Chain A
Amino acid sequence: ELRLLESGGGLVQPGGSLRLSCAASGFTFSSYAMIWVRQAPGKGLEWVSGISNSGGSTYHADSVKGRFTISRDNSKNTLFLQMNSLRAEDTAIYYCAKTIGYYYYYDMDVWGQGTTVTVSS
């Protein structure tokens, strides 16, 4: 069974940092690009960050550029999102998702259950 399991969410003060993880199983992790998508409370989906299958290419949305860093460890089948300088507007459920190809512009066919990040003092 294809599975993605996020962890690392929680409550953090504005300006703080968090590192999200996403453990993958049931597929050849190193063959697929991976994505982080977030959803603020009561709002729609926002594409946040993407990384190619090898990890050699990444992309971050303008809203998080310079603050968030996506990375992956193919030897451990794990995706990461390092979030620094967090703001209240970063409060959301963060989903990791597998794409259908090796590059991050592909569609996302497997999603995790999400991990909640709350930025508040």
Chain B
Amino acid sequence: QSALTQPASVSGSPGQSITISCTGTSSDVGGYNYVSWYQQHPGKAPKLMISDVSNRPSGVSDRFSGSKSGNTASLTISGLQAEDEADYYCSSYTSSSPRVFGGGTKVTVL
């Protein structure tokens, strides 16, 4: 199963909004509402930020939001803060395997 496609890096200034895309196919992202997003700081374990395309688990800031259009899912971070600097991974259910991850996007706060 091929990994989902994410941009290698995205950057923004504090207070700005950024969006990270996650492109798959009709066999994964486009076919199911089972897209999730994980945040990973260096040397730390991943943290679930968004599940089922747009649901925020308890405790996750409402500055994080998710959406999907066709075969592309998106994670938007509003009011960018220094603590948001991390790697972000999308994940989707697929027709041929339980889960596949994207290649990851490094978010830099300028």
Contacts and interface: CB of A to CB of B under 8 A. Distances in A.
Interface of A: 35, 37, 44-47, 50, 59, 61-62, 95, 100, 104-105, 107-109, 111-114
Interface of B: 1, 3, 34, 36, 38, 40, 45-48, 51-52, 57, 87, 89, 91, 93, 97-104
A59 B52 CA distance: 21
Given A112-B45, A113-B45, A44 B102 contact: yes
Nearest to B103: A44
Contact of B45 (A50, A105, A114): A114
Contact of A44 (B45, B48, B57, B101): B101
A104 B97 CA distance: 10
B1 A62 contact: yes
B94 to A, nearest CB: 9
Contacts of A108: 38, 46, 48
B93 A111 contact: no
13 contacts: A45-B91, A45-B104, A47-B91, A59-B97, A59-B98, A95-B46, A100-B51, A104-B98, A107-B51, A109-B48, A111-B46, A112-B45, A114-B45
The 10 A-B pairs of least Cβ separation, nearest first, read A111-B45, A105-B98, A44-B104, A107-B51, A45-B101, A47-B99, A107-B36, A109-B48, A44-B103, A105-B93
B31 to A, nearest CB: 13
A105 B3 CA distance: 16
Nearest to B44: A113
A33 to B, nearest CB: 9
B47 A111 contact: yes
A78 B65 CA distance: 34
A44 B100 contact: no
Contacts of A107: 36, 48, 51-52, 91
Given A47-B91, A95-B46, A109-B48, 20 more contacts: A44-B89, A44-B103, A44-B104, A45-B91, A45-B101, A47-B98, A47-B99, A47-B100, A61-B1, A100-B51, A104-B98, A104-B99, A107-B51, A107-B91, A108-B48, A109-B51, A109-B57, A112-B45, A113-B45, A114-B45
